[in-house]
Amino acid sequence: MSSTTQSVTRRTLLASAAVVGALAVLPLPTAMAAGGGEAIHPFKFKATEAQLEDLRRRIKATRFPEREIVDDNSQGVQSATIEKLAKYWAKEYDWRKVEARLNALPQFTTKIDGVDIHFIHVKSKHDGALPIIVTHGWPGSVIEQMKIIGPLTDPTAHGGSASDAFDVVIPSIPGYGFSGKPTEKGWDPIRIAHGWIELMKRLGYTRYVAQGGDWGDAVTEQMALIAPPELLGIHVNMPATIPDNIAIALQPGGKKPDGLSADESHAYDQLADFYAHGLGYAIEMANRPQTLVGIADSPVGLAAWMIDHDIRSYDLIARVFDGKPEGLSRDDILDNVTLYWLTNTAVSSARLYWENKLAFFQPKNVKIPVAVSVFPDEIYAAPKTWTEKAYPNLIYFNKLDKGGHFAAWEQTKVFCDELRAAFKSVRA
């Protein structure tokens, strides 16, 4: 591959990178030094009534554009969808419900490398539970993973056995949600991975696994490359598997390679469509995140920006506001958007795209055990052939019939079943 081709390939992949029961509460005092590191503090969040009233006022004052001049979503978020979202958000949505669910969970903060890291930590009542750290992506947050906590920590109440139990740690990426916002350059997926390793050390875990999709995949794979001895294996639901010849073919003017299998051909078509029509948000956040002042000022603008992630995710979200929920509800969507609004993290979260220098979908030569679940409506459904080459120590691979980019959120049971199956071999 020529240096020019490598440079072009890297730029495109960087842009796509920018695309991607009973609960036992961990007993910690008000401020406890864990593992010899910084103190760990309990955390709760309560929005003020003034904040919520300001949110409703801004929603009602939205100046909507004229209706799109096409009958489909080819021009972006359709007027009917965003107007229905805004009407429900202003008049019926209740943030206090999700706030109460969040505050019922054991949440903490600890300072790592100069930034306050927020995390949920729920321990299983079952002996021998396997610790797992789960990382969200953009436009996600810990809201995405709240549904998996019960099934993973209390499997006997959710169709599993005690031997399937996990202790669950769900941190907020720096600049996202309740974590602190970095004030210096350098908080990329590699630095975050080091932070997560330190977090698990502070929590006293001597063996654990990690999981992620979207940015969570990037962070989780970097943890695997650092390969601390405590990390037994990883599971990803948006793997990095694109071979070099496919990456080159996806460049402008490239040609689909001959001889692809049915799965490979389908993955190529999904990627080609995404590169051609779905990368706008990622390119802007990677190049000029601070320009996005509008989404920090307009809640409806923020919602439109967040729900237009990839076309299959958009279709799933849009149908929710048309009265056809499946997996997600209107409240699910607005819980997540409202979290971004109340924490003013629209722009600070976008800066992760600017920081990132990794080619998101390029194989990283991860050598520790890797498990992969492929959901059909992901940005691309990774073929087994590509996955086996990308991960030489592939211990589990499964292709699902339903689910997309936000698998833990929208297909919770299937996702939890996948984690149980994926890590069976590393529990011994």
Instruction: State residue 339's pLDDT score.
Output: 98
Separation between Cα atoms, residue 145 and residue 112, nearest integer Å: 22
Q: Given the structure tokens 């600890």, which residue do they identify?
A: 110
**Positions marked catalytic:** 214, 353, 405
List Cα–Cα distances, 299 to 19, 313, 353, in angstroms: 22, 20, 21
pLDDT at position 1: 39
Torsion angle, alpha carbons of 300, 302, 305, 308, to 10: -60
Helix (H) or strand (E) holding 236, with range, is strand 231-236
User: In the prediction, which pLDDT does 324 show?
Assistant: 83
Torsions phi, psi for 335 (to 5 deg): -55, -45
What are the structure tokens assigned to 296, written together? 């920090």
Per-residue pLDDT of the chain (428 residues; tens, 9 = 90+): 333 333 333 334 343 333 333 333 333 333 344 444 589 999 999 999 999 999 999 999 999 999 999 999 999 999 999 999 999 999 999 999 999 999 999 999 999 999 999 999 999 999 999 999 999 999 999 999 999 999 999 999 998 899 999 999 999 999 999 999 999 999 999 999 999 999 999 999 999 999 999 999 999 999 999 999 999 999 999 999 999 999 999 999 999 999 999 999 999 999 999 999 998 999 999 999 999 999 999 999 999 999 998 888 999 888 899 888 778 999 999 999 999 999 999 999 999 999 999 999 999 999 999 999 999 999 999 999 999 999 999 999 999 999 999 999 999 999 999 999 999 999 97
Q: Where are the beta strands (DSSP E) in 15-159?
A: 24-25, 32-33, 39-42, 107-112, 115-123, 130-135
Q: Any idea what DSSP says for residue 289?
A: G
Q: What per-residue confidence (pLDDT) applies to 66?
A: 97
Residue 22 pLDDT: 33
Q: How far is the CA of 326 from the CAs of 92, 152, 184, 410, in angstroms?
A: 20, 22, 41, 7
Distance CA(238)–CA(372), nearest Å, equals 8
pLDDT of residue 159: 87
pLDDT of res. 327: 84
SS (H, E, C) 155-221: HHHCCCCHHHCEEEEEECCCCCCCCCCCCCCCCCHHHHHHHHHHHHHHCCCCCEEEEECCHHHHHHH
> Residues 289, 296: contact at Cβ < 8 Å?
no
pTM: 0.91
Q: How far apart are CA 362 and CA 240, in angstroms?
A: 5
Q: Letter for the amino acid at 119?
A: F
- CA 180 to CA 32: how far, in whole Å? 19
**What pLDDT shows up at residue 37?**
53
Backbone angles phi, psi at 22, to 5 degrees: -95, 130
The length of the chain is: 428
Distance CA 100, CA 105 (A): 9
Angstrom distance (rounded) from CA 357 to CA 346? 21
User: What are the structural domain ranges in the chain?
Assistant: 3-48+94-426
User: CA-to-CA distance for 40 and 247, rounded, in angstroms?
Assistant: 43
**CATH superfamily name and code, 3-48+94-426:** Alpha/Beta hydrolase fold, catalytic domain (3.40.50.1820)
